């Protein structure tokens, strides 16, 4: 039995393709999988991914929120 995919979001930027998936393992654990697939040409790709399990969602979202908050002001000129 494979993991169940609850929701997916995909987008591309040039030869980079991103995949955000909320999935459930066979034993019922929920996780977020973030993948990036780089197109090398001639139907060849290299893929990288990170998995965040549900027990870490709150801390992960807090971290992302902090990073985006700081990034919003990083290049702001007074």
Q: What is the pTM of this model?
A: 0.79
The pLDDT tens digits of the residues spanning 26-62 come to 999 999 999 999 999 888 999 999 999 999 999 999 9
Spatial separation of the C-alpha atoms in residues 57 and 40, rounded to whole Å: 32
Could you give the number of structural domains in the chain? 1
Domain residue limits at 60: 4-74
The pLDDT tens digits of the residues spanning 59-73 come to 999 999 999 999 888
63 token code pair? 């971290």
The pLDDT tens digits of the residues spanning 40-49 come to 988 899 999 9
10 token code pair? 């995909």
Rounded to 10 degrees, what is the CA torsion of 49, 24, 3, 56? 30
């Amino acid at each position: 039995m494979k993991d169940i995919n609850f929701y997916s979001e995909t987008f591309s930027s040039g030869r980079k393709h991103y995949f955000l998936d909320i999935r459930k393992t066979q034993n019922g654990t929920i996780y977020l999988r973030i993948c990036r697939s780089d197109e090398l040409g001639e139907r060849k790709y290299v893929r990288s991914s990170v998995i965040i399990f549900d027990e870490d969602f709150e801390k992960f979202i807090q971290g992302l929120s902090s990073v985006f908050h700081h990034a919003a002001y990083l290049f702001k000129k007074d």
